[in-house]
């Protein structure tokens, strides 16, 4: 049986914050994951009140992507690192930022999580991965378990923008090879 190397994918993060995107956090993320490539405009995160008690009112969602492509089997390690960064940024025992790393490829968006559910796959380090969206017919298709914000037109627009950038980064990498 022939083994095939994984294709590299785009690392991105969905970030929830009441503090915006402080330069110190950007520098910390870049130290771990390489240069930030795209930062989307923040928008109110009003899809659930799940995080309000911990983070406070005025939570915003935005996405960042990194210019260094990663192998998909690095997701557990990446999630472990983002969990540590969240702990570094805790205020009074609660998170001030929520970092949700994801992988974007030509065909899908996969998110890492600490919570096990029937539709999630163990990826090591006591973490799980979830196929959140599938790219089909020029759009991202959601599933019954897809988070409400990831089903929104606003997020789809940003993810399509990230997908276009991913295609550019892949072409650049192929031209260098």
- pLDDT over threshold 80, residue 168: yes
Segment 42-77, tens digit of pLDDT? 999 999 999 999 999 999 999 999 999 999 999 999
pLDDT per position as a tens digit, 101-145: 999 999 999 999 999 999 999 999 999 999 999 999 999 999 999
Q: Is residue 130 part of a domain?
A: yes
Output the six-digit token pair for 168.
Answer: 């550019």
The answer to whether residue 1 is domain-embedded is no
- Is 84 within the bounds of a domain? yes
Is 132 among the domain residues?
Answer: yes
Rounded distance between C-alpha atoms, residue 148 and residue 146, angstroms:
6
Residues 6 or more apart whose CB falls under 8 angstroms from that of 145 comprise 117, 119, 130, 132
Return the percentage of the chain with pLDDT > 90, whole number.
Answer: 98
Q: Which domain holds residue 109?
A: 10-176
Is 4 domain-assigned?
no
Angle made by CA atoms 126, 129, 131, in degrees to the nearest 5: 165
Listed in sequence order, the DSSP H helices in the chain are 23-33, 52-55, 75-88, 153-176
Residue 143 lies in a domain: yes
Number of domain units in the chain: 1
């Amino acid at each position: 049986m022939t083994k095939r190397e994984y294709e590299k994918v785009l690392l991105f993060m969905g970030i929830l914050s009441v503090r915006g995107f402080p330069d110190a956090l950007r520098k910390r993320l870049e130290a771990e994951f390489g240069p930030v490539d795209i930062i989307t405009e923040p928008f109110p995160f009003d899809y659930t009140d799940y995080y309000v008690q911990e983070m406070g009112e005025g939570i915003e969602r935005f996405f960042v992507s990194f210019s260094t492509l990663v192998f998909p089997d690095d997701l557990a390690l990446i999630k472990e690192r983002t969990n540590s960064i969240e702990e570094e940024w805790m205020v009074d025992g609660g998170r001030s930022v929520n970092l949700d790393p994801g992988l974007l490829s030509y065909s899908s968006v996969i998110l890492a999580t600490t919570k096990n559910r029937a539709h999630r796959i163990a990826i090591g380090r006591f973490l799980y991965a979830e196929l959140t969206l599938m790219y089909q017919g020029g759009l991202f298709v959601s599933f019954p378990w897809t988070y409400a914000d990831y089903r929104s037109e606003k997020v789809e627009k940003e993810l399509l923008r990230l997908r276009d950038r991913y295609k550019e980064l892949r072409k650049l990498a192929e031209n260098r090879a």
